[in-house]
Structure 1
Amino acid sequence: MMSKNNTNGRNQFAMLTIDDLVPQDHLVRKIDAALDFEFIYPIVEATYSDLGRPSIDPVILIKLVFIQYLFGIRSMRQTIKEVDTNVAYRWFLGYSFEEKIPHFSTFGKNYVRRFRETTVFEDIFAYILEQAVKAGFVTEDNLYLDSTHIKANANKHKFTKE
């Protein structure tokens, strides 16, 4: 006898936290336990002003890039879509279900306006790498380089001659 799936579970109300929904062995939990991102604040402090509207937390901006590269997401636009729907990514960023994820252009604007002429990213990457080595995420046993060619997400027929 054929049965039909009941979709009423979509509207189910349950008392859960985001913490309950992220598996204990998920990579973002391991990273969160091993790496302390608080070091970012003093590094970027000089690039922020006391005037104007409140900004996006700089740790969130760096964690977005971290998620993008760690999980192989190809663009910031796609990263934001993934964070919007992935509970583990929201947990890693400290966002609730109700909180709106920053627009994908927020990172680009911050990079151009604040970080482009600085060594902020190099400093942050070096420190994260140092913490990752200490935590045992990175070893010097083997080094692999990926030279795979990735097809560009572009239209080769769109080019116009000037």
Structure 2
Amino acid sequence: MLSSQLKLSLSYYSDLYDMIVPKDHILRKIRELVDFSFIYDELKNKYCLDNGRNAKTPILLFKYLLLKYLYNLSDNGVVERSRYDMSFKYFLELTPEEEVIHPSLLTKFRKQRLKDENILDLLINKSVELAINQGVLKSNTIIVDSTHTEARYHKTTQREMLKKASTSLKAALKDSDKDIYLPDEPEKRASLDEYNEYCHELLNTVQESPYSELPTIKEESSMLSEILDNQIDCYDQSIDPD
């Protein structure tokens, strides 16, 4: 069930935000100047309004996604950073001591509530438009050009996405252990299935490595795992000539 009432959180520690998050921080500006109520209006038909237990507000979950794409993080990465990054917590309108969501909830929201590949683009583009109108952003390149959004105009194939993510993960592993054995990357003409198999083997190597919990390696492996798990066509090359 989706409630139209947002929870008001009060805390003795909220003054910490004034001490830690600078007045000119981009997340502070976006939170204070951009009205995200349009998120509720766009997504309320995806929820039951009068039955079942209360769901997390889609505004909160969308804000997690916006952070995810602004900072190019995985679902696990953005939730983990939200635990300790006070600018993230301030943007999410959480109290300093408040617990964050479980990453699986964000993944479920992305896959079930945003099934239509146009919805995420619509919401992000609307947010960018509002931020530009308020003078927070100079252009929309901060979001669209540097992240893996589910846009129809994305020119990167799934294979290329896997190659980029796996290369980043291998580089992180090599930085920690130059002698670590890593599976051989498939040849250039390898099929997508062969590349999927290689990436799964690489992830298994990471799990067995003593460095698997290092922040950089953990985030890179989460990103690769997320791409493998997303069985959607957002990473396929567009057939639209434009």
Q: Secondary structure at the match of 1:126?
A: helix
User: Given the superposition, is the C-alpha separation of residues 16 and 54 from structure 1 closer, same or farther in structure 2, using an over 3 Å criterion?
Assistant: closer
Unaligned runs of 5+ in 2: 1-11, 147-155, 157-162, 171-182, 184-197, 203-242
Within-5 A mapping of 1:51-90: 51-73=51-73, 75-90=74-89
Distance between the aligned counterparts of 1:58 and 1:132, measured in 2?
19
Contact 2:66 2:124 in 1 (8 A): no
Larger RCO (alpha carbons 8 Å, 6+ apart): 1
User: Given the superposition, is the C-alpha separation of residues 122 and 150 from structure 1 closer, same or farther in structure 2, using an over 3 Å criterion?
Assistant: same
Distance between the aligned counterparts of 2:145 and 2:97, measured in 1?
40
Contact 2:79 2:102 in 1 (8 A): yes
Contact 1:40 1:59 in 2 (8 A): yes
User: Given the superposition, is the C-alpha separation of residues 52 and 118 from structure 1 closer, same or farther in structure 2, using an over 3 Å criterion?
Assistant: farther
Within-5 A mapping of 1:12-91: 17-20=15-18, 21-49=20-48, 50-73=50-73, 75-91=74-90
Within-5 A mapping of 1:1-162: 17-20=15-18, 21-49=20-48, 50-73=50-73, 75-117=74-116, 119-136=118-135, 137-139=137-139, 150-152=164-166, 153=169, 156=198, 158=201
Identity, % of aligned positions: 24
Distance between the aligned counterparts of 1:101 and 1:25, measured in 2?
24
User: Given the superposition, is the C-alpha separation of residues 53 and 71 from structure 1 closer, same or farther in structure 2, using an over 3 Å criterion?
Assistant: same
Using the size of structure 1 for normalisation, the TM-score is 0.73
Distance between the aligned counterparts of 2:34 and 2:65, measured in 1?
15
What is the CA-CA distance between 1:150 and the residue it aligns to?
A: 3.6
What is the CA-CA distance between 1:28 and the residue it aligns to?
A: 0.8
- What code does the residue aligned with 2:29 have? K
**Divergent runs of 4+, >4 A:** 144-147
Residue correspondences, number: 142
Please, what is the CA RMSD of the aligned residues?
3.0
Contact 2:13 2:95 in 1 (8 A): no
More helix by share: 2
What is the CA-CA distance between 1:58 and the residue it aligns to?
A: 0.6
